[in-house]
Each structure stands twice: as C-alpha cells, then as structure tokens.
Structure 1
C-alpha cells in the first residue's frame, strides 16, 4: 500500500519466493524481499501451487500443501513479516482468491469434496489469532466442471465461478445468479 509503483511477487515450485522492484533511476531490478516457504510436514497439492495477494495489500496467501494455507503478512511499512500456516479443512482445493472490499482479508475457496461435488466457501483471515474465521457466505453443489474463480471489485463484490456448463455469480448478500453456457 501507498507505494508509487507495483512490485512483482514470484514463488517457485521449490518453495522459494521473492518480491522484486524496478529502480527506474538505475535501470535495474531490486530484490525487496526473499525467503523460503517450505514446510517439513504436508503433502504438496495435486492441483498445483496457488499464490494470491490481498487487494488491500495486507498479506500474501499461498496454497502449497493439502490442508494448509500459508500467510505472509505485511507490516505497516510494507515489509513482509514472518510466515505462518493456517489449517484449511478443504483438502482438494481447485482455486483460491481474495475478495475485494472486505474489512478483514477474506478468501473464497473452490473445492471438491470426497463425493466429487464442488463448492465454494469463504474465510476471513484473522491475523492476530493466526486462524480463519467463518466467512460471510458459501455456496454448495456447483457445476461439476467449476474450476475458476474471478473476484468482482466493489461496488458489487462477490465472485464469478466459471464452470463447464454454467457461469455463476455469488456474493455476501445471498445473491446467486447462474447463467447456462450454450
């Protein structure tokens, strides 16, 4: 937040990350931060690593291992603080995104249960408690081909869920609108 330019966050398959900044005066790339986000426990995700950044620049979220969501918070000066894990109930995560316009950083998780049904659920990230708080809404039994989440900026908010047969819009006001794909 409050920076004159954007930064680039890169995470590798070997669980390393860096934050890069372009210095226009020197015409060079600077490394603002770097680190290791590997854990000794956990099974790497089958669906690939997911890295997301809160739209209000409060934290970076990583889904690297089944059942875990790694949080890298920012301090007041925009520097990265120590990373921590939060247990994630959903084991077969297909996509995760941050929602716009939320008081607390809020994620929406698209997941598949053990009966192959797909659902979305939201969680607020409580940074002080280093835990999730039940989010403002959820939606069960989506299109079985649902695989992509697109967060919708304010003033509407919510998320668009792209499936094989439908496109669905959901938000915290219990708005649910499905459009069939022809």
Structure 2
C-alpha cells in the first residue's frame, strides 16, 4: 500500500496500559466512525505496515484506545509512539456533490467569478491555522484561503472549482 492510496487518520500519542495498549489522536470530526476497524497502516520509516487491531474503543471521546496484535508490552508500545496512522482512501465516506476531500480537487481548474481562470489546484496546505488552496498559474503560486464563503461551486464532473475571492487577493500574487 502506498501513501498516495491512503489518507492520514491520526497519530499514536501515548501508552494507555502496561499491556501494550496505545492511544491514537484521530484527525477527524467523527471519531466514532473508526471504532470498528480491523486494521490500520502504521508509517514505520516511510513504509506503511499493516497493524491488526484486537480491540479498540473511544477514550474521552477524541482518542481511540487500541490494542494491536503482537503489541503486548510497554516496550513494544514505546516503539510505535509518535507514528502516523493511515487508512485506504476507500474507507472515506461519500460526500455530497458540493463537499470535497482535499486530495480530490488536486488537478482541478480554479476560476474566480470576477477574475476568470486562476490556474490549476496543485494542493491544499493545511499545516497552518487556515488551510490554503495552492494554485499554480504559469509557474506562480497563488494561495487562497479554503473558506466556505469563497467557494461558490465544486464541479467534480468537469474538475472545476469556482471561487469568489476578495478583490485584489489574486492580483497580489501577479
């Protein structure tokens, strides 16, 4: 399994018990959707390794408490603390037509209602407090906040993203 075929689910943040149980901080608004998983992929030295789940449940509503097969001691649990967890893209729930996952809109043509064609969406930077569309326009990068007020239409069939950005935002990059 390659990372490109998966989505980031969360990170193993700490041990829970002396029997090897760990707590996973999930990167989701709906943690309850992930309590019945049979396995996950753990990013171990840039390789996705399948880890099979013996038992799991929510802990304090935002953390997933997990007991993995073959992780049955504190020492084995210590070895996986801090590692990222992934699932195949097929595990993502279907969204409405106007909703999208960030990976879905890469390659879409971004247009603005006033400016016209902006460029091609190359990615979404969500490492800051405000996620940003990264749009390539003839080699120049244009950053536009991912904001519901700016997104007018997502046309998955025609691979276009129609935006209504504040006046001057796009021109600032040109």
**TM-score class normalised by the smaller sequence:** under 0.3
Higher relative contact order, structure no. (Cα contacts within 8 Å, ≥ 6 residues apart): 2
TM-score normalized with structure 2 length: 0.26
Structure with more helix by fraction: 2
TM-score normalized with structure 1 length: 0.25
